[in-house]
Structure 1
Amino acid sequence: MTVTSGLDLDKLYAARLHAVSARPYLATALYALHIVESPAVRTMGVDKYWRCYVSPAFVNHTSVEELASILVHEVSHLLREHHARSDRYADTHDLSGPAERLRMNIAADAEINDDAFGDGLVVPDGAVTPGTLGLLAGGLMEDYLDQFTFARGAQQLGWLDCGSGADGSAREWDLGPDGADGLSEQEREGVRFRVAQGIVGNPGNAPQGWRRWADQALHPPQPWRDLLGAALRAAVSAPGVGEDYTYGRPARRSASVPGVVLPSLRRTPPRVGVVIDTSGSVSDAELGSALLEVAAITRAVGGRRDLITVFSCDAAAHIAYPLCQAESMSLIGGGGTDLRTGFTKALRTRPDVIAVLTDGQTPWPSDPPPCRTIVGLFRRADSWSEHNPDYIPDRPPTWARVVDIG
């Protein structure tokens, strides 16, 4: 924390220690905040560079317990990147002006305060919750913005100002990117990553909202359909895939060997075997997604449906379907999972590429197949064992190219 003259730092240090004791998974973030004395701020406010601007008068008239709750609240804005999310929402919905930014600040407060207090943290006076706005708990800032508008009497919330770190709109007291004690982008990401790791490592200590945030922070959404298509295209166009020798066109080298006809290398369209996990652990929605991915795989090989064979597999491989229309295909299964049988049956068709769509809860072949393998992995919540904190669930083998789906 930055040492200042008119600010009761001992009181703030005590409040920070109280906040860390109540929310130990936020300790890294709370200690990363840089305190800046600012009489221009009514209470506390943050900027995206992890500076926390504090009013000395507010600190003097607020208890240590309430200051601890407000510190947790302010650092939550930064961890959840409300400034960037507000900017994206404003751009998408063509919003501008201080009233709209205040509405974003209040919606962000509702997301945080939903489950921020209790268990050692008091509720600050005037804290906005989803109930304050007449909305259901458990939503995100964007959800509340779609439902919440300023009505009669709502202007009384205008005193709430958590700074540019909450709504993306710069304040006159902000020190900006060149000011002292700001964190770089890499440092900010490092703080978020360490906090998310702490939450995921001990999931019983954090409420649902924080567990959801940590999962998204460690596994950000990816354009998985593009990634899966790119992996397929890379596999089917790789050297050696779909290549064979033919005497239909002699090799040019034959001219240097009189009386001997050498075969030339001919590239043929690649064959793809698709193994779909139809065990009981895969939902109907995921099976529907798998059929959509079969259509995407078809496009990746240039629309040649005759080159694709689909196998549904739980504990045993079922009927092999030459692909005609993915949407009308029947998938058989619902039992246990052993995709090794699917690999065995798919390899009998001599594919150049095997694509597997599964939740990953299956034994895998001990040896890599003699062709390229791509695994589309339906995402599952991280497994955790209180008896073994270092437990890591099995992942597909290293010889497979893995793309997380969903």
Structure 2
Amino acid sequence: MSAPEAGELDLDKLYAARLHAARVRPYLATALFALHVVASRRVPTMAVDRHWRCYASPGFVAGTPVEELAGVWVHEVSHLLRDHHGRSDRVARERGLTAPGDRLRMNIAADFEINDDIFGDGLVGPEGLVRPGHLLLPEGLLMEDYLRQFRLGPRTQDWAWLDCGSGADGDEREWDLGPDGANGLSPQQQDAVRFRVAQGIAGRPGTAPRGWRRWAEEAFHPPQPWRELLGAAIRSAVSGSGAGDDYSYGRPSRRSAGIPGVVLPALRRRPPRVAVVIDTSGSVSDAELGGALLEVAAISRAVGGRRDLVTVLPCDAAARVAHPLCRAEGIPLLGGGGTDLRTGFARALRLQPRPEVMVVLTDGQTPWPDAPPPCRTVVGLFPRPLSAGSWDEDDPDYEPDTPPDWARVVTLG
């Protein structure tokens, strides 16, 4: 077998490193061999795109021992298995991360999530490994958690070269072959690879680090992005005509130009008023009530952060005091009795001014109003098992009515 010419990618060495990685981490073998290699001198070391192509620098491969290259293989495929590109896109939208350094910060946070437990036991970490301990951060967290705990600065300036590709932070590079390039995996093929890897980890849980076991459990039981769905449901509810519409002279209508001497008001959209009815009956747990307050904060963000436009009403069989969100820290979720959220609907509709959107957070064990309220309605359901007797409320044969068709229903996590 002839040696590669100067400047060429040493595929034999790179494939030997991949084989070594598969031997020491057999549960990752399906993913490792699903990657298609692309030689690129524009990549600092090795990188992946979101279509499961692995870009390798010929100079880096030539100067790196096989054992360390095996560690890089595992590191890069970990970005793809853990969907760091998709998660980075979501967190960028949710937190408004659009600054030039934000994607680098996401890459670093994703590396923190991976590197804290994948090395050792036959896998050598490459030189310059990025670990959370370098910034005095704890191990075992997720990328999203690390993003909240550090900013770019003097301690991260040595990582400015870091570039694991769009597969790590979602930002397409100039050297990416893109969605139409050759040898990429379709989303369905990517899901199949992830499922096979999760099966391998679940079948031999004692051989995988804690981070991989956690990932495999979520791969089999993926969490629903319920906060994103809830926010989208609210935004959809207020996007129709009439919700949050008002006339204002602050910006005159363009039609004023056609009527000399007359100033017409313009129709402007303002954030809507939202009433949040929280089910505080005995069938709702303390943990779910705590989660409900977190949803109130998410609802506030969905309407542009206008806390003064959000009112919270605890309700079991009777509606409680309506609390403005500006006092969210001290909202008492009193209750513990039976459930009849119809009183909460009625109390919310008596608010002045009347809400334009109503959000109901409940386990669903309640009668519902016969007629739709005169405002858009979103129902957030706490999940309940469907086994026999799981809906028992003094009557073992009791089953709750499903939410009415006029409500937008979202299952909470």
Q: What is the TM-score with the length of structure 1 in the denominator?
A: 0.59
Q: Are 2:354 and 1:354 equivalent residues in the alignment? A: no
Q: CA deviation at 1:301?
A: 2.1
The question of whether the paired residues in 2 share the 8 Å contact of 1:275 and 1:354 is answered with: no
Counterpart-to-counterpart distance in 1, 2:90 and 2:337:
30
Q: Does 1:72 align with 2:117?
A: no
Q: Which residue of structure 1 aligns with residue 194 of structure 2?
A: 192
How far off its partner does 1:201 sit?
Answer: 2.0
Match of 1:103 in 2: 105
Rounded Cα–Cα distance in structure 2 between residues aligned with 1:30 and 1:275: 50
Contact 1:199 1:210 in 2 (8 A): yes
- Residue 146 (structure 1) aligns with: 148
Q: Which residue of 2 aligns with 1:263?
A: none
Q: Tell me which of 368, 384, 401 is aligned to 1:302.
A: 368
**How large is the Cα RMSD of the aligned pairs?**
3.6
> Aligned-pair distance for 1:14?
1.0
SS in 2 for 1:170: coil
CA deviation vs aligned residue, 1:53-86 (integer Å, no higher than 9, x gap): 0011110000000000000000000011111111
Unaligned runs of 5+ in 1: 228-273, 278-282, 305-338, 356-371, 374-402
**Structure 1 match to 2:20:** 18
Deviation at 1:344, TM superposition (A): 12
Question: After the TM superposition, which residues 203-218 of structure 1 pair with which residues of structure 2 at under 5 Å, given as runs?
Answer: 203-218=205-220
Q: Which residue does 1:31 correspond to in 2? A: 33
Task: Select 1:112's aligned residue among 93, 111, 114.
Answer: 114
List per-residue Cα deviations over 1:214-260 (Å, max 9, x = no partner): 11111112378999xxxxxxxxxxxxxxxxxxxxxxxxxxxxxxxxx
In structure 1, distance between residues paired with 2:175 and 2:412: 44
Per-residue CA deviations over 1:143-173 (Å, capped at 9, x if unaligned) read 1110111122422111111011111111111
Unaligned residue ranges in structure 2 (runs of 5+): 231-280, 293-335, 342-361, 371-387, 403-409
Q: What is the alpha-carbon distance in structure 1 between the residues aligned to residue 58 and residue 286 of structure 2?
A: 58
Distance 1:343-1:191 versus aligned 2 partners, 3 A rule: same
In the TM superposition, what are the counterparts of 1:150-299 in structure 2 within 5 Å?
Answer: 150-222=152-224, 285=287, 296=362
1:125 is matched with: 127
Range moving further from structure 2, 205-214 or 59-68? 205-214
Does the 8 Å contact 1:275/1:346 carry over to 2?
no
Cα distance 1:11–1:151, how it changes in 2: closer, same or farther (>3 A)? same
1:51 Cα shift? 0.1
Output one character per residue of 1:10-58: Cα deviation in whole Å (capped at 9) or x when no partner.
1111101110111111111001000001111110010000000001111
Distance 1:303 1:185, change over 3 A: same
Q: CA deviation at 1:341?
A: 12
SS of 2:12's equivalent in the other structure is: helix
The change in CA–CA distance for 1:44 and 1:345 in structure 2 (over 3 A counts) is: same
Q: 1:98 Cα deviation (Å)?
A: 3.4
CA contact (8 A) 1:199 1:211 kept: yes
In the other structure, the counterpart of 1:94 is 96
Task: Decide whether the 8 Å contact of 1:275 with 1:342 is kept in 2.
Answer: no
C-alpha spacing 1:182/1:111, structure 2 compared with 1 (3 Å): same
1:62 equivalent in alignment to 2:64 = yes
Paired residues of 2:283 and 2:363 also in contact (CA < 8 A): no
SS in structure 2 of the partner of residue 132 of structure 1 = helix
* Distance (whole Å) between structure 1 residues aligned to residue 9 and residue 291 of structure 2: 57
Identity %: 61
Look up the equivalent residue of 1:183 and give its one-letter code: L
**Partner Cα distance (1:189, 1:293) in 2:** 43
Give deviations 1:332-387, integer Å, cap 9, x for gaps.
xxxxxxx889979835xxx4x436xxxxxxxxxxxxxxxx99xxxxxxxxxxxxxx
1:276 to partner: Cα distance: 6.9
User: TM-score when scaled to structure 2?
Assistant: 0.58
Q: Distance in 2 between matches of 1:109 and 1:99?
A: 15
Contact in 2 for aligned 1:275/1:343 (Cα 8 Å) = no
Report the Cα offset of residue 136 of structure 1.
Answer: 0.6
1:40 and 1:198 mapped to 2: Cα distance?
A: 34
What is the Cα deviation at residue 101 of structure 1?
A: 0.8
**1:292 deviation in Å?**
10
Higher Cα radius of gyration: 1
* SS class of match (2:148): helix
Which residue number corresponds to residue 396 of structure 1? Answer: none
